Amino acid sequence: PQILSDFGVIAIPDRMGGYTHNVAVHVVTADGRLAAIHDTGDFEGIIAAARKALR
């Protein structure tokens, strides 16, 4: 889908016809631009990126 390419997301097929999943937090600005991608455990980075995106 277009949204995957817009945000640079890569879908990796698995051997059962599905996809391999990972988890990350994508911070998006109010105008729909991707501001940052963080691992779910990076709370400080996520909060900092969200605050910056809200400015």
> Radius of gyration over alpha carbons of the chain, in Å?
13
pTM check: above 0.75? no
User: What's the chain's length in residues?
Assistant: 55
Tens digit of each residue's pLDDT (9 = 90 or more) over 17-36: 998 888 899 999 999 899 99
For residues 49 and 38, is the Cβ–Cβ distance under 8 A? yes
Rounded to whole angstroms, how far apart are CA atoms 7 and 36? 10
* Burial per residue of 16-49, b for 16 or more beta-carbon CB atoms within 10 angstroms, e otherwise: eeeeeeeeebebeeeeeeeebbbeeeeeeebeeb
Name the pLDDT band for 10 (thresholds 50, 70, 90). Answer: confident
What total number of domains does the chain contain?
A: 1
Range of the domain at 47: 2-54
